[in-house]
Amino acid sequence: MGKRKVGILPAAGAAFGAFLLAGGVMLLGQDHFARGKLLLADAWERIEDKALQAYVPRIYYDPEREEGSFWERAGRLVEDSLACWNYIRAGEETVCLEDESTWEAIEEATHKSIAERLKESGEAAPAPAPEETDAEDTEDTEDAEDTEDGEKPLEAAFTLPEQQAVLSLEKMQDFDYLLNNFFVLDPTTTITREELNLDSLLGKDLTMKQDNSAPQILIYHSHSQEGFADSVEGDPSTSVVAVGDYLEQILTEEYGYQVIHMRDTFDLVDGVWDRSAAYDYALEKVEQVLAENPSIEVVIDLHRDGVREDVRLVTEVNGKPTARIMFFNGLSKSRTNGPIEYLYNPYIADNLAFSFRLEYEAAQYYPDLTRCVYLKCYRYNLHVRPKSLLLEVGAQTNTLEEAKNAMEPFAVILNKVLKGT
C-alpha cells in the first residue's frame, strides 16, 4: 500500500490525545478488578493501532518500523521528519565550541605550534640573517633595550621583530600540504580545494578602510566566564574579559584604533551556565552594536580553549611566558548533510582568509605562537562581518599573565594585516 506523508504536528497531537484518553481510562481501571485492567490494556493496544493507522500511516504501513512500541516508532518518525535531527543524532548539533568531540580532535591534532609542525616535516627554512648594522647603531639599540628590570621597554613588544621563518608559497599551493600544516579539519565538516586555495586566501584585501574617527574594531566574549589557572571565579578582572581589556588597550594606545569592548555576560543567565545558548544571546547584542556602529570592520570573539589538565599551551615571546593562540572558523557545512542552510554565512571565504592571513604572518614572525586554524561545521556568529574572528587564547591551564602576554604579538600581527604592510 502506498505511503502518505502526514505533518509531524498533527501526528504528534493525535498520538498525545490517544495517550491521554487511554491513560485516563487505565487510571480509573486501577480501582477495579484485574479483569478490567486486562480489558483496558487490550483497549489501549487497539487505540494505539487505530491511531497509527489513521494519523500516522507512515509508521503503520512501513514494514521496517514494525518493531518497538508506539512511542519508539513515533520517535523514529520525529527523528526522520526533523531536518536538524540528523545533525543531533550524529553528535554534530551541539552548538558548543569546546564540546567533547572537539576536545578529542583538538587534543590529538592542535597542541603543536605551526613551527613544530613545519620542523617535523622539514619544510620551514630559516630566514636570511638580518643586515649588519654599525657598531654605534647596535650600541644605541642595546641601551634602548636595557631597563631596570632587564626587560625590553613596552614599545619594543609592539614592534614587528625580525623575520624568523620563510614559508614556501610554492609548497603551499598544494592542497594537502596547506591543510595538513596550517589547518585542522574537524570530523564534522569538509572543505574542498576550491575553498582552501592559497591564491584566494592571500589575495583578499584585508586592510582597514575606516579611519579612527569612528569605531573600527569590536571585541566581545561569547563565553565570558572562561578563566585561567589563577582566575577567581566570578571576577571578570581575572577572566578572559581581562585579556580583552588588554587587547583593547594595546590596539587603542599603541596603534590608534578606535575599539569597542563588550564585557557583557552571555553564558551565565539567571545563575545558569549555558555555553550553547550563549552564541544566540551574544548575536543579538553584537548585531545591535554593529547597527549602531556600521563603521566597525573587525569583530573578534575572544575565548580561551579547554584542554587536558596535563597540557600547557605556552611559549616564550620577548622573554615573556606567552600562551599559544588558535584561530577557529565555522564552515556552515556538515560532512554528513552538506550545507547547513539555517546557519548561512556569506562571508565564509572572507573569514577564512582573515584567519589564515593572521596565521601566515605569525608563522613567519612568531612561529611558535599559533597552533592552527581549526575548521568546524557551524557558524559561530562569524557571519556578522567579513573580517570576523574567533580567537582561542591559551587554555584553562595557562595563567592570566600568559594569556595577556599573547595579546602583544597578536596585536602586532593584526596591525600588520590591517595596515597591509
Q: Mean pLDDT throughout 209-228?
A: 95
The mean pLDDT value of the chain amounts to 79
Q: How confident is the model at residue 130 (pLDDT cuts 50, 70, 90)?
A: low
pLDDT at 311: 92
Rounded distance between C-alpha atoms, residue 324 and residue 316, angstroms: 9
Rounded distance between C-alpha atoms, residue 343 and residue 383, angstroms: 9
Cell of 32: 477495579
Q: What is the 3-state secondary structure (H, E, C) of 119-166?
A: HHHCCCEECCCCCCCCHHHHHHHHHHHCCCCCCCCHHHHHCCCCCCEE
Rounded distance between C-alpha atoms, residue 216 and residue 163, angstroms: 28
**Domains of the chain: residue spans and CATH:** 8-82 (no CATH), 100-419 (3.40.630.40)
pTM: 0.71
* Interacting residues of 69 by C-beta distance below 8 A, sequence separation 6+: none
Which of the two residues, 277 and 120, has the higher pLDDT score? 277
How is 87-110 classified by DSSP, letter by letter? HHHTT-----TT-HHHHHHHHHHS
Rounded distance between C-alpha atoms, residue 293 and residue 259, angstroms: 11
Rounded distance between C-alpha atoms, residue 308 and residue 280, angstroms: 28
* 247-272 residue pLDDT tens: 999 999 999 999 999 999 888 877 77
Cell of 188: 564534522
* Interacting residues of 131 by C-beta distance below 8 A, sequence separation 6+: none
pLDDT at 86: 43
Q: Mean pLDDT throughout 163-179?
A: 93
Most confident of 30-44, 116-130, 288-302: 288-302
Which of the two residues, 32 and 296, has the higher pLDDT score? 296
* 361-411 residue pLDDT tens: 999 999 999 999 999 999 999 999 999 999 999 999 999 999 999 999 999
pLDDT at 70: 54
DSSP H or E stretch at residue 305: strand 298-305
Most confident of 72-76, 125-129, 161-165, 382-386: 382-386
Nearest to 52 by CA among 63, 60, 44: 60
Rounded distance between C-alpha atoms, residue 198 and residue 171, angstroms: 10
pLDDT at 98: 47
- Above 60 in pLDDT, residue 8? no
Cell of 421: 604592510
- What single-letter amino acid sits at 186? D
pLDDT at 117: 77
Q: Mean pLDDT throughout 190-203?
A: 95
pLDDT at 176: 94
Query: What is the CA angle 371-375-377, rounded to 5?
Result: 155
pLDDT at 97: 43
Helices and strands per DSSP (H, E), number in the chain: 15, 15
